[in-house]
Structure 1
Amino acid sequence: MEIKEENKRFALYDEETEVGEITWQEASGDVLVVDHTFVDSHYRGQQLAQKLLAAVVEKARREKKKIMPVCSFAVKEFKEKPAYDDVLAR
């Protein structure tokens, strides 16, 4: 599995097949609005959506940005993971 950043999204590939993605929009004030997460049903249960979100969190930390979770998956993960509090837009 490989995660690649492509035009305001991270895509997850199993060899050459795209099997998941997480997308964001950039808001004013250096905020990444995470608006969509998807993993193909054949690949669910492997923590792949969590890995995609972790990639966005690392990007935000590296670029000194904040994240506003909007999609239901990202909202749930931010509530359950206090380790992400440093990048949560308030």
Structure 2
Amino acid sequence: MAIIQKPGWFYYEKDGERLGEVSYLKAAHNQVLVLNHTYVDPSLRGQNIARQLVDAVCDLARSQGQKVQPDCRYAAALFKRYQEDYADVALEDGPKANSCSI
């Protein structure tokens, strides 16, 4: 699996086709990464690709001493389900966390 990082994005690409992605915005003077969108192609769902993409953002935040605010329903659910895995970077859900489509 190839996860590629671009400013504001991590994405999974296979054979030149983007099949999964997570996007984030920087907030609070670059101290917070706001996860605002997660998508994985239906053919790849259930393979933990979305979690790996979210984890890539969290690893970036850890390496830069930042926090992560889930403003996407998938990320918010992931942070709640695995609180211990994200406790060091997690902030409260953003205002759109319950309305973002998966």
TM-score where L is the length of structure 1: 0.94
* Number of the residue aligned with 1:54: 55
Are the aligned partners of 1:26 and 1:33 in contact in 2 as well (CA < 8 Å)?
yes
Question: Deviation string for 1:9-59 (max 9, x for gaps)?
Answer: 101111321101000011014100000000011111111001101101100
**Structure 1 residues not aligned, in runs of 5+:** none
**Structure 2 residues not aligned, in runs of 5+:** 93-102
CA root-mean-square deviation: 1.1
Q: Among all aligned residue pairs of Structure 1 and Structure 2, give the percentage whose two residues are the same amino acid.
A: 34
Q: Which structure carries more strand by proportion?
A: 1
* Number of the residue aligned with 1:73: 74
Shift of 1:61: 0.4
Are the aligned partners of 1:9 and 1:22 in contact in 2 as well (CA < 8 Å)?
yes
Which residue among 71, 86, 89 is the counterpart of 2:88?
Answer: 86
Counterpart Cα distance in 1 of 2:78 and 2:87? 11
**Structure 1 SS opposite 2:87:** helix
TM-score where L is the length of structure 2: 0.83
Counterpart Cα distance in 1 of 2:85 and 2:7? 26
Counterpart Cα distance in 2 of 1:45 and 1:83? 19
Q: Which structure carries more helix by proportion?
A: 1
Matched residues, number? 90
